[in-house]
Structure formats: C-alpha cells, structure tokens
Chains A and B, each alone.
Chain A
Amino acid sequence: MGTANDCWLDLQGISKYFPGVHALDKVKFDLRKGEVHALVGENGAGKSTLIKIIAGIYHGFDGQMRFENEVVTFRNPNEAINKGISVIYQELNLVPNMSIAENIYFSHLPTYRAGIVNKKKVYEDTKILLDYIGLSEDPRTLLKKLPVAKQQLVEIAKAISLDTKVIIMDEPTSALSPSEIDNLFRIIKDLKAKGCGIIYVSHKLEEILKATDRITVLRDGKYVDTINTSDATQQQIISLMVGRELSDLYPKQGGSIGDVMLDVQGLTSYHVKDISFNVRSGEIVGFSGLMGAGRTELTRAIIGSDKRLVGKVIVDGIELKRNDTRESKQAGIGYVPENRKEQGIFGDASIKFNMTISTIKNFVRFNGIKRRKELTSVNDMVNRLGIKTPSVTQLIQKLSGGNQQKVILARSLIKEDLKVLIVDEPTRGIDIGAKAEIYTILDQLTRRGIAVIIVSSEMPEILTMCDRIYVMKRGRINAEINNEDATQELLLQSAI
C-alpha cells in the first residue's frame, strides 16, 4: 500500500449488503498516482459494486474511503465527478443527437460573462482534445454518426476535459479493434505520465498484463490478493479468480445417453452466428461464457422468441418451421427463462395458474377446465418438487425465489411430451438448499430420457452437472469441452 501522499484513492474494509446478498465483504483497494490498477474477478465477484461505490452511485456502505488522504462520502455521482473521478462505462453515457463538442463539454460549457456559450472556444478546445486522443472528426459531427469505438474515445476525451484525476474504465476494449486498442493504451500511458490514476476493469487478461501496473483480484465479494503485474502470469490470475473448492452440492448420477433429441444446425439470429450443436436424450449440455456472449440469445432463437434468420432447429426429428414459441412448446421444448420475475412468473396469479398455463389445454374438456384433474396434477408436482406452500391457490409472488423457480420448472415438467428442457441461469438468486434440490430435479429428468440444456455463469454448476460444455464468445461457439477434460481455467480461457 502506498503512503498517504502518493495515493489518489484508499479504500479499507468496504462492505456492501443488498437484501439477501453480501455484495462486498471487507474489501480493500488503493490507487496510486500515475498507476494503472486492474480489477479482476468472475461475474458477480463484486467489481461493479466497488466501482459504483467509488463513483458515488452507491452510498450507505461500511468501511472508509479516502481521496487524497481525506475521508470522503459521496452522496451522488456529481460529488465524485467534482472531486475528479470519471467512469467510462461499457454502456456509454453520451447523447447520440448532440455533436461531439457538446457531448464533451455538456456539463461545463465555456461561456461569456452573460452566460452565452462561447461556441468558438468549445470547438477549438474540442479540436485540440480530439487531436490528442487520435480522432480526426469535425467537433460538430453528431455523435450517433461515429462507430462505437470512436464514441468510446469521445467519452475518454470528456473525462480528460474535466481535469480528471481518477478514470475508471469498465471493459474499455470490448468494442475496439487491435489498432484502436493500441491507441487506447497510448492514451493510458500518457494519462499515467500526467499523474492520473486509472482503474482498469476487464476480463481480457492479455491486455491486463500488457497495460497495468498492479492487479487486485476479487472473488465472491471478498478481497483475494493484490499483485504486481510484472510478477504475474495469466495462470496465476485465473487460479486466484477461480479459487474455490467444488462442494458436494451436486448430486449428479446421470442417465443413459440415447438418440439426438435437439439438433441445431447453422442457427443464426441477430445476436448469434452459425451455431451448430446437438443434445441427446438423457444428456445435460451446458453453455458457458461471459455475460453478453450470446447464450440467452441462443436459447431465445431456439424456442423461436428471437427471429431465426438462417439455420435449422430439429426436435426429435421434426424441424421447427415457424418462428413462434407456441410451435416449439408443442414440439416438446420446455423453457425456464433467465429473469424469473420479469420473464417467468405471473406475479398476480396463483401457483396453480402459473404451473399449468402452458399445458392448460390438456385439462380442458367440452364443458371447460377439469379443475379436479388440474388440482391433482398440480398437487402432485408440489409434492414431487418439494414446493413449500400452504396451498396451490397461494399467489406465486409470496413464495421464496427457490420455490418460485420450482414452480416455473414444474410448468415444463408437467408436460407429458417434454423432450428438451432449456434452463437459463436456473439457480440465480436462490439459496443453497433450493439449489441442490433443483440440481437433483434436473438430474432425475435425464433418467426420464429428457435432453437438458443449462445456461449458467456459475462455473461449478456447469462443471459438475453437464456431460458436455459449449463455451460461447461474441455470439459464436468458441469451444466444445467434454466433462472429463473441463476445468474452470479451461472454460475461462475459452470464454475470454
């Protein structure tokens, strides 16, 4: 740790709780003047929470933050900006319909005494800034006419114009080409020489090794270690990031693997490109990858909720012809979406309603819904899956996350002709006990001969539950790995 005078930022014992989640647990972090400090960790490790605390978006945390050796508490992002802290987010905070110059000087336009904007000065200053960051565009150009990479440079120019002391870059190279990355590194070097401190958040370890001075690793909201980049290797960083032991949370016994149940050939949508894979009866196939790699979008294209542009989806020998979720449901695909609350449950309706909404036609006779038959099936599911509720007429939103997830699973399991089950982040936000129960349910399904696809960001889940794993990267399948060969390190390497 640096001494008082050569540090911009010094955070000690930072803890942040969200309802039910310990997002950060006694994390420490410091940023010296003129250094590039990388912040790494898996999805959910706590990087973005830490950034948001520094940027003044989150307040109400435990621990102490010092800026230039003075204790600070930012009540809002403006207070952080006024101190000289700028964040360049992955999602850029720019106004598409304003010019480059207006975007840069948006919050601090130079004016004449009467408050009228000194346009000449704005454009001249912008020109100087743009030359410095390597953009040859006219300052009057509308921002939306620039490609994303150049917009990102504009965001950096904005930070420089604010006389920034600390710049936080969140995945700054995700949209850049190699030559643009080199340009960015040149700017970073220059800012460093001027004494700026830069927090560099990225999944790309090669870049981190190339561009940073120190690396701090977070894991599950906890501080792991800070190492000098000159001493670090890629292997070492990955093992610090992964670090955990696989528990015996996972009950996998497996089923006997049979014929191909789902065959996807050359599937292309607006978000995924040329995806080919298959899943056999009794097999669990996992999809791993970073956030935004296109895993959820792939599942949406399979069930027909996203438009399929090219390629085939074949379920048990029958090709899906139309682009509609009703067809894939009728073909025997069950789907458990990623965001339970927004995409899964009908919050104002009962457990029973939620469980049978996909299959209600099977309970209908000429004189309406056979309520007793429906009730029997629903109660049977409640018992089989161990859903804890006093009654099936209870509103689903009153259940815990784990029990809600079981109801959504039951919506697919209640289908007599279920052939393929796709679950997206099946255990997100639910407690350990319910997690293990959901794994058991998925495992049992394979013995019924059902083909299961698990999309998950939790590597232990993917590693232990899946017979085969596909790793996705930028909308494509980057690797196929068999269970015996799979390690967290290998998955991470294929994803990055």
Chain B
Amino acid sequence: MNQLAKRKNSFFGLLQMDQSGLLIALIAIGIVLSILSPAFFTPNNIMNILRQASPSMIAAIGMTMIILSGEIDLSVGSLQAFAGVLGVMAMNYTGNIFVGIIVTLGAGCSAGLLNGFLVTKLKLNSLIATLGTMAIFRGVIMVITQAVSQPIKVKGFSEIGMGSIGIFPTPLLIVIFLIAAFYFVLNNTAFGRYIYAVGGNKEASALAGLSVSRIKLQVFVIGNILFSISAIILTSRLDSGQAIAGVGMEMTVIAAVILGGVSLNGGIGSLTGAIIGVLILGVLQNGLVLMDVNTFYHDIVRGTVIIIAVYIDVRRKQSADIRLLKESQASL
C-alpha cells in the first residue's frame, strides 16, 4: 500500500530513510551506545527502554492516524494530564480501577469529539485548534487540582504500568496488542484506506464519495482515545495523577512520527515507521541518561532531532518529485 516505503534507495538513499533505513539507524545508534556504555545492551535496560517508551508508542499510533489524515494534534500532552488526573480522581472516589479507566477513556473520547468538531465542523486549522485545546485541557486540570498531585489510593493500578508478565513489562504487551490492532486497521480495512485518501487528497476524496468530515472526526476520536490509553500507563507509572504530566509530549510524539517517515502533508507513511521513530528517540534519551548527560541537554538533542526529521521529510518529498520528473521526461 505504501509505495514510498518500498522505493529503492537512490542517490538520496540515506536521506530518504525508508523503513529498513530507519531500522538500520536504530541499530547503529544501539551499537554506538553499547560501546559508549556497558550498561546499555542488557536485557534489563532494553526492557526498561521499552517500558518507558510505551506511553509514547501508544500516543504515536494515534498521532500517526491523525497526521496521515492530513491533520495534527498538539493537545496530546495536555490530554494525558487531563484524562489521567480525572481518571485518578474517579478511581480514588469510587475505589474502583475500572471506573478510573472508563473515566480516562471517556475524557479522551470527549476530547476527540471536541478537537474533531473544531476541525471538521468549524473548519479551523488543526494546528491552531489543538494549540487552543492544548492550553484549555492543561488549564482545566490545573484549576481542578490546583496543581496538587493526586496520589493513587487504590491498590493494583500501578501494575498496569509497573508490572511484568514473565520478563515482559505489562505496558509493552498492551503496546504490542495495540500496534497489531491498528496495523490491521490501517492496512486491512476500508477505514484505513479512507484515512490515507483524505490525507492524500481531500478534494478527490470528497468527489469519490467519501465523507471527509466524518472520517476526520472518527480519526480524532480514535486518536484521542489512544492518547488517553497512554495516559493510563503514564499515571500508573507515576503512581499519581499530576496536572503537569505530559508537558512537551506533543513534540516528542510528532517528532517521532515524522522521523518514522509519516509526511506532515498527510497521506504518506506507515505505522511501523512511526513506532521505530519513537524507539530511536527513546534509545537516544536512554543513552543520554546512562552517560550521565545533564538533562538540560536532552531538550537540545530532542530539538535537533526534530529539525533533522522535518528536513528529511522535505528532502524525501523533493527527491521523490525530482525522480518523478526524470521518469516522466524519460518516458516522453
């Protein structure tokens, strides 16, 4: 389905970085880090990286769908705090884990309806609309909690984020299940095709009889529910509901998805690429920690990676255009 990913590497091969290129980049970073730090390539550390990256990977699934459909969602980090804290409060009030989970998912669903409504019905640019909801979600949860951390009083909830089944961290198993499910959705269902279609060419989609607004609204709702699932794991790992959770998450997730080859213009990219993108950022972060690099530098590294990712996106598009031009000239 995604032909771009299958293209043979050409002159700009390295810059194009299809999925195998991404995988090679991930492995290369891994090798460098294992040389620099003996603690890196140990089963414990690898599982630790995967556990830490779990919330980002789940958020990246949602973000991939939203960006593929030609939109973007900056409210992801605020939504994690908003949905997570509401869930914790509900859980503490009722003493029931499931109520907490349902409230968190409900908050995600409502946020998706709101974001989707702003973008599809009010026709706002999603960058601006979600910049607004990003501030609103964060503000609302700050007001509710007065920025006071909400400790979880119900036993067992921390198992979701901290527990393991065998050697596998529980959150990783949740991630694997979700990746498999949404890989299927994107590649084997009509809905998946529609997401690529509305992101690839909105006008052609409408004229081909697709309901563009409805599809985008659905994508926002599903995407934001995924953000709230990542919030469940995040709050469980923090063992408390914190109004400042997920600050800067939008940058990490969007950078990872673009690094993974999903085009900001929509319609191009794959879920596997996006997940590898998250892992690259996760591994880098872990390496910096292991090497005792001051955390202030982490932001600089992350920012640099974001710029490189966007540059790769631009170059990928340019070189694809150049090649097409050459091919069409050759066929004349």
Interface residues of A, Cβ cutoff 8 Å to B:
303, 305, 324-326, 328-330, 335, 337, 342-350, 353, 356-358, 360-361, 364, 367-369, 393-395, 397-398, 400, 411
Contacts and interface: CB of A to CB of B under 8 A. Distances in A.
B190 A369 contact: yes
Contacts of B324: 397-398
A337 B206 CA distance: 11
B1 interface: yes
Interface residues of B, number: 28
Contacts of A364: 189-190
A348 B263 CA distance: 11
Instruction: Specify which of A303, A343, A357, A360 lies most central, judged by the most chain B CB atoms within 10 Å of its CB.
Output: A357
B3 A357 contact: no
Label chain A's interface by main secondary structure: mixed
Nearest to A346: B200
Interface stretch (B207-215, B280-288, B299-307): B207-215
Contacts, number: 92
- Secondary structure at the B interface, as helix, strand, loop or mixed, is helix
Contacts of B208: 325, 329, 335, 357-358, 411
A337 B188 contact: no
B210 A343 contact: no
A330 B204 CA distance: 17
Interface string B157-197: 00000000000000000000000000010001110011011
A282 B204 CA distance: 27
A330 B200 CA distance: 22
Contact of A348 (B190, B200, B205, B206): B200
A346 B203 CA distance: 10
B206 A325 contact: yes
A346 B3 contact: no
A324 B331 CA distance: 40
Contact of B197 (A346, A394, A398): A346
A231 B328 CA distance: 49
5 contacts: A330-B209, A353-B193, A356-B193, A357-B210, A369-B190
Contact of B203 (A343, A350, A358, A367): A343
B116 interface: no
B210 A326 contact: yes
A253 to B, nearest CB: 30
Contact of B3 (A330, A342, A395, A400): A395
Interface string B198-230: 001101111111110000000000000000000
Contacts of A346: 196-197, 200-201, 204-205, 267
B292 interface: no
B119 interface: no
A25 B254 CA distance: 52
Contacts of B327: 398
B205 to A, nearest CB: 8
Given A357-B205, A394-B3, 19 more contacts: A324-B211, A325-B208, A325-B210, A326-B211, A330-B209, A335-B208, A342-B203, A343-B201, A344-B207, A346-B196, A348-B3, A348-B267, A349-B197, A356-B193, A358-B209, A360-B194, A364-B189, A398-B327, A400-B331
Given A368-B184, A393-B3, A395-B3, A347 B201 contact: yes
Given A326-B211, A335-B207, A349 B190 contact: no
